[in-house]
Homo-oligomer: A and B are copies of this chain.
């Protein structure tokens, strides 16, 4: 029987790539998506498409009370920056999001007997979120080891961040080599009602630049690109 792995699946480019990597590594995948009232709720549809594309054994979409996540452009009525110019942690940062997402994943992993969890964070071409850095992944791995029965028994849940050291264009090339169909993914923080990507938010900018650097055309439709 194949080993089980939890995939934290937002429906973005990164989570589609980690799903492909986990499948390529021989795992049976269990996708976990969060509905936290995010502005770009459109990504949940993409998460469904990713789970289908990779024949996930199960896909759970779980709600998180939106009162937990305040003060972010993605959850509140705060504009998403479109000028590509700021330093520090941007207003699209959502409080402790990856800590909470990983904790859910660790609980589900232990519940179903999985010992592997994949998260698509990367710290090269990213928005400067503190919870995407390798030091954070190391620290939360340690907390998960000490805070679970399986970890206590010497069989901890491994938290894999296989994209961590890759540039966005390297991630795309990796995914293409594993037949990821990026047309089903979604990255924009502020899509139109029809689902077109804005082309101007940080997430669109990073994505478009990466496709260009990879010498590929982004299959998504943009308002402006």
Q: Mark A145-166, 1 if CB is under 8 A from B, else 0.
A: 1111101100000000000000
Whether a CB of chain B sits under 8 angstroms from the CB of A140 is yes
Chain B residues within an 8 Å CB radius of A146: 130-131, 133, 135-136, 139
Query: Are B68 and A95 interface neighbours, CB within 8 A?
Result: no
CB distance from A87 to the nearest CB of B (A): 13
From known contacts A60-B67, A107-B95, A107-B99, infer whether A147 and B139 are also in contact, taking CB-CB under 8 Å.
Answer: yes
Interface size class of A (residues with CB under 8 A): 35 or more
How many copies of the polypeptide does the oligomer hold?
2
Choose among B68, B136, B144 the residue that contacts A104 (Cβ–Cβ < 8 A): B68
Determine if A111 and B152 form an interchain contact, defined as CB atoms under 8 angstroms apart. no
Q: Which residues of B contact A142 (CB under 8 A)?
A: 139, 142-143
Contact B107 A68, beta carbon cutoff 8 Å: yes
**In the complex, A89 has a CB within 8 A of chain B:** yes
Of B99, B112, B139, B147, which one neighbours A98 at CB under 8 angstroms?
Answer: B147
A-B pairs with beta carbons under 8 Å apart, 11 shown:
A60-B68, A63-B65, A67-B108, A93-B149, A99-B107, A100-B103, A100-B106, A130-B152, A139-B145, A139-B146, A140-B147
The 7 A-B pairs with the shortest beta carbon distances in the complex, nearest first, are A95-B110, A70-B111, A96-B107, A131-B147, A130-B152, A139-B143, A103-B103
